[in-house]
A = this chain, B = another copy of it.
Amino acid sequence: MDSILDSVKFDDRGLVSAIAQDISSGDVLMLAYMNRDTLKETLEKNVMVYFSRSRQKRWFKGETSGHVQKVREVYIDCDGDALLFKVEQTGAACHENYFSCFFRQHKENSWKIIRTKIEE
């Protein structure tokens, strides 16, 4: 595990970018961050565990909402400073209850909501 973690280039805050992509639809769900500990936990448990920059603490995705992201495949980029996780998304990835956080599209010089919220 250490050799895997050592190939990752964490930034000056100790974080690496983590893109979550839904493995079925190919939808990019969200972009967040992990530190070494939460990346290790993610790889060990096969569920996404981020590090919240705003709260400065471990963030087990879905801990309260149940919207867990089960990890299926993990990729690293050429520079080693970004990770791509193909996941099985339970419910909504977005805290606003959209499947993807990227639910607004640039159209006619504004951001239009192009997805519908998931009903619980």
Contact = CB atoms under 8 A, between A and B. Distances in A.
Nearest to A105: B75
A118 interface: no
Interface in A66-120: 73-79, 82, 84, 94-96, 98, 101-106, 109-111
Contacts of A78: 94-96, 98, 101, 103
Contacts of A28: 19, 21, 28, 84
10 contacts: A3-B109, A4-B106, A7-B111, A19-B28, A73-B105, A75-B104, A75-B106, A76-B106, A76-B111, A78-B103
Interface of A: 1, 3-4, 7, 17, 19, 21, 26, 28, 30-31, 43, 73-79, 82, 84, 94-96, 98, 101-106, 109-111
A111 B73 CA distance: 12
A7 B109 CA distance: 11
Contacts of A43: 106
